[in-house]
Structure 1
């Protein structure tokens, strides 16, 4: 379309100059029409030539829209679209990352003026404070990719920005086998821990930790278990939902991927533990079986409400500290299950299906970790034997 430009003479310290104003079309995010002003031309003829060149660039799409939107404004537009495609728990996580790490550093800056040097500086700063800097970088990149798609910028300033490594990371292999970094327990450590839970915790907590270790289920999956998920006759457990707490309400959600919905077999020991818990709840007429818990959730508090998502983490940390156990996380119990499955001779495919890994690379990472660790122990066993 023909764009009308207006020209004007103005006075500067260096003498008279010319400027022009031109309608550059609608802002793709706000829908409002916008104009651009170009100054500093010595003659009207120069201004007219520049205006003609600008019109050609706008017509052919070779000029990026002259938007003054801030990063925060672009983020809001991106999130409005993106939030429709993700679960509430993911929405909450993303908002937390932006509010805590990203918007304070990018929010008020014009998105078109953010450059690669500044992005690298920000990533370096975040990397110095948290380990999950790559997750933050992924979220920042989402906004820049959106801005690029909407013709608000002509290149992504986050491209080629690297994540710095700590010195100790540069000195070790990708799979660090050091005792400090080991986030799983050996068979001996598992037996010790289960003995402790038997002696010091409630039947509910005993069964919860037993399931975490014996099924490799995710914490959210197990806290969302209902009694109808367990088939005592067949000896199976259905995992197909997770528990999420939002604004004072507990919600069931579908898992991240289709692979996460799975039916797994249970051993006799695990079935007996679950039967024991169920029997105790029925005999005690706990709230788990009254109207406060219509979904008949397996792991509840005294009033029938689900356990807090943080509870297993807190309980595990208390027991580890009290008994000076090797420190692992709740996720480390899932890693433990996979590791012991491999040691017991399970195939990579079997472990992938049991753990609900959507990508076999996740399973392979654990497999490589375990086999490398076992190789390392071979030398130690030989030394121990020969020095007897």
Structure 2
């Protein structure tokens, strides 16, 4: 009996899978087959009929998965891609393509040894900071080959030594002081397009992530309650396409307060946006309108915002920090203003205390160093 069912992937596309009875083998054991990933119901039915005809002619031939790449592809489609966000799946696929499969892809999975694994780990650690994650993915592939496919007996990743990452430097947690941030935003005001000042002001005074800001819609801002709801993020999906998905924050949506001046700047931008697009024949007067868009009223590329930030820094000879480090700046200034670690963690949507504490520790260390310098300058000897 053939059963065909539809299912929806994270990217919203509908696919089909089937389970069918083929017959019995020479021992009398019932043989069934299941497949998934078909774009149409007809394609799923065609493959099921092919398998049944093949079984009747030759008996059931259990598929073999000999290379690491073959096992990886089967694991990715059956155990991974439907359980994570699309952007996460894309990043994982890139790790395999750019690093893991270059070493293991064409090797027979039964031939991969502990020595092969350790050698690759050592090589990856010199090229990327993702070595620990990559080792974890490899371990999952080998475990799948052991427990689900029963084609190897031992995981060659067991016991490998993963080199420790170098300690974070000052540059990793660079941020602007209150005075530096004020000067930076004054420089941003001089940009020809006022959109960039509004966006950079919002990032600086909310601490939200770049993708979260680029995915915002006007309905997410409550001007009466002076709050903003952060519940989605602009990410990159399959085929480099920009997509909206749930925010990185593990607890889901978070709502934070905004100061009066930032809210007033946003109100002014909403009016300007409506007038600018009306001149181009586009009506943006709707709650679902994205707050920051390009000339065609489409999403802004992440890299474009980075380019704008770099241009402002270079043009005005400012201290070099990244867009993400504006988030660090907000975090450090919150601590300076007296906010608790718990308050900062919730406002920024950090997944754990550890992330918040890393910045807190760095900020307090900087302050201690400044205190010593102030004393020495005062004493003068």
By the TM > 0.5 criterion, same fold? yes
Q: How far apart are 1:127 and its partner, in Å?
A: 2.2
Deviations 1:228-250 (A, max 9, x none): 11111111101001123444754
After TM superposition, list the pairs within 5 Å mapping 1:50-61 onto structure 2: none
Q: Helix, strand or coil: the match of 1:200?
A: coil
In the alignment, structure 1 residue 327 sits paired with structure 2 residue 326: no
Q: Which runs of 5+ in 1 are unaligned?
A: 1-25, 32-66
How many residue pairs match? The answer is 318
Name 1:35's counterpart in structure 2.
none
Equivalent of 1:131 in 125, 129, 132: 129
Distance in 2 (CA, whole Å) between partners of 1:331 and 1:69 is 43
Q: 1:113–1:342: structure 2 CA closer, same or farther, 3 Å change rule?
A: same
Task: Indicate which of 174, 199, 204 corresponds to 1:208.
Answer: 199
Aligned equivalents of 1:350, 1:94: Cα separation in 2: 32
Match of 2:253 in 1: 261
* Contact 2:211–2:233 (8 Å) recurs in 1: yes
Q: Is the 8 A contact 2:69 2:101 kept in 1?
A: yes
CA distance in 1, matches of 2:359, 2:80: 32
SS at match of 1:311: helix
- Deviation of 1:343 (Å): 1.2
Q: Which residue of 2 aligns with 1:91?
A: 89
1:310-321 paired onto structure 2 within 5 Å: 310-321=303-314
Q: Does structure 1 conserve the Cα–Cα contact (< 8 Å) formed by 2:203 and 2:209?
A: yes
Partner in structure 2 of residue 387 of structure 1 = 380
Larger radius of gyration: 1
Equivalent residues in 2 for 1:63-142, closer than 5 Å: 69-80=66-77, 81-142=79-140
Match of 2:371 among 345, 356, 378: 378
| CA–CA distance in structure 1, aligned partners of residues 240 and 286 of structure 2 | 16
Asked if 1:273 is matched to 2:265, the reply is yes
* CA 1:88–1:268: 2 relative to 1, 3 Å: same
| Cα distance in 2 for residues equivalent to 1:292 and 1:152 | 59
Ranges in structure 2 where 5+ consecutive residues have no aligned partner: 1-28, 35-63
1:186 matched to 2:184? The reply is: no
CA distance, structure 2, for counterparts of residue 326 and residue 145 of structure 1:
48
Q: Report if the CA contact (8 A) 2:219-2:288 is conserved.
A: no
**How large is the RMSD of aligned CA atoms in angstroms?**
2.7
- 3-state SS in 2 of match to 1:131: coil
Do the aligned partners of residues 237 and 206 (structure 1) sit closer, same or farther apart at CA in structure 2, a change above 3 Å counting?
same
Measured in 1, the distance between the counterparts of 2:156 and 2:310 equals: 41
User: Which secondary structure state, in structure 2, belongs to the residue aligned with residue 214 of structure 1?
Assistant: helix
Please list, as runs of the form range in 1=range in 2, the aligned pairs for 1:193-232 lying within 5 A after superposition: 193-232=184-223
Whole-angstrom CA distance in 2 between matches of 1:239 and 1:288: 30
* Partner deviation per Cα, 1:273-318 (whole Å, 9 max, x = no partner): 1011112112334469627998300001112111112221121122
Alpha-carbon offset, residue 175 of structure 1? 5.1
Tell whether the 8 Å contact from 1:260 to 1:357 is kept in structure 2 after alignment.
no
Tell me the CA shift for residue 260 of structure 1: 4.2
TM-score (norm 2): 0.76
